[in-house]
Amino acid sequence: MSRKYFGTDGIRGRANQHPMTPEIALRVGMSAGRHFTRDKRRHTVIIGKDTRISGYMVESALAAGFTSVGMNVFLCGPLPTPAVASLTRSMRCDLGVMISASHNAFEDNGIKLFGPDGYKLSDEVELQIEAMIDNGVDTDLVAPSDLGRSRRIDDAQGRYIEAAKGTFPKGMSLQGRKIVIDCANGAAYRVAPTVLWELGAEVIPLGVDPNGLNINERCGSTAPEAMCRAVVENGADLGIALDGDADRVVISDEKGQLIDGDQVMAMVGAYWHRSGLLKGGGVVATQMSNLGLERYLEGLGLALIRTKIGDRYVLEHMRAHGFNVGGEQSGHIILSDYATTGDGLVAALQTLAVVAAHDKPLSAVGRSFEPLPQTLRSIRYHGINPLESETVKKCIAQAEAHLVGRGRLLVRKSGTEPKIRVMVEGDDEAFINRIVDDIVEEVERACAHAA
Mean pLDDT of 138-162: 93
For 165, other C-beta atoms within 10 Å of its C-beta total: 15
Task: Judge whether 150 lies within some domain.
Answer: yes
Residue 137: what pLDDT?
66
Residue 310: what pLDDT?
86
- Cβ burial, residue 92 (10 Å; 0-12/13-18/19+): exposed
Confidence of residue 451 (pLDDT cuts 50, 70, 90): low
Query: Both 324 and 379 in a single domain?
Result: no
Query: Both 167 and 146 in a single domain?
Result: no
Query: Both 12 and 143 in a single domain?
Result: yes
Residue 199: what pLDDT?
98
pLDDT digits (tens, 9 = 90+) for 51-73: 999 999 999 999 999 999 999 99
Residue 237: what pLDDT?
98
What is the count of structural domains for the chain? 4
Query: Both 167 and 253 in a single domain?
Result: yes
pLDDT digits (tens, 9 = 90+) for 312-356: 899 999 999 999 999 999 999 999 999 999 999 999 999 999 999
Domain-terminating residue out of 107, 124, 154: 154
Q: What's the predicted TM-score (pTM) here?
A: 0.89
Query: Both 129 and 147 in a single domain?
Result: yes
Residues 6+ apart with CB under 8 A from 360: none
Residue 393 DSSP SS3: helix
Query: Both 142 and 92 in a single domain?
Result: yes
Query: Both 247 and 235 in a single domain?
Result: yes
Query: Both 335 and 413 in a single domain?
Result: no
Task: Judge whether 51 lies within some domain.
Answer: yes
Query: Containing domain of residue 166, as a range?
Result: 159-258
Mean pLDDT of 399-427: 90
Residue 364: what pLDDT?
96
Task: Judge whether 401 lies within some domain.
Answer: yes
Domain-terminating residue out of 290, 320, 343: 343
Task: Judge whether 431 lies within some domain.
Answer: yes
Residue 348: what pLDDT?
98
- In the chain, the percentage of residues whose pLDDT exceeds 90 is 90
144 preceded by cis ω (within 30°)? Answer: no
CATH number of 285's domain: 3.40.120.10
Task: Judge whether 369 lies within some domain.
Answer: no
Task: Judge whether 76 lies within some domain.
Answer: yes
Residue 295: what pLDDT?
93
Residue 46: what pLDDT?
98
Backbone angles phi, psi at 239, to 5 degrees: -130, 150
Quick one: the chain helix, strand, coil %, rounded to 5? Answer: 40, 20, 40
The mean predicted confidence, pLDDT, of the chain is 95
Residues 6+ apart with CB under 8 A from 415: 7, 8, 9, 309, 310
Q: Which of 107, 126, 169 is nearest to 9 (CA)?
A: 126
pLDDT digits (tens, 9 = 90+) for 244-288: 999 999 999 999 999 999 999 999 999 999 999 999 999 999 999
Sign of CA dihedral 321, 327, 309, 373: negative
CA–CA separation, 139 vs 156, rounded Å? 34
CA–CA separation, 356 vs 331, rounded Å? 21
pLDDT digits (tens, 9 = 90+) for 409-418: 999 998 778 8
Residue 183 pLDDT greater than 70, yes or no: yes
Query: Both 163 and 211 in a single domain?
Result: yes
**Angle made by CA atoms 79, 113, 160, in degrees to the nearest 5:** 25
Residue 38: what pLDDT?
81
CA–CA separation, 215 vs 410, rounded Å? 30
Query: Both 177 and 70 in a single domain?
Result: no
Residue 153 pLDDT greater than 90, yes or no: yes
Residue 93: what pLDDT?
97
CA–CA separation, 12 vs 144, rounded Å? 32
CA–CA separation, 71 vs 68, rounded Å? 7
Domain-terminating residue out of 240, 258, 276: 258
Query: Which residues are catalytically annotated?
Result: 102
Query: Both 149 and 166 in a single domain?
Result: no
Residue 407 DSSP SS3: strand
Residue 450 pLDDT greater than 80, yes or no: no
Residue 7 pLDDT greater than 90, yes or no: no
Query: Both 204 and 247 in a single domain?
Result: yes
Confidence of residue 405 (pLDDT cuts 50, 70, 90): confident
CB half-sphere exposure, 346, CA atoms < 13 A: 27
Task: Judge whether 359 lies within some domain.
Answer: no
Confidence of residue 383 (pLDDT cuts 50, 70, 90): confident
Task: Judge whether 408 lies within some domain.
Answer: yes
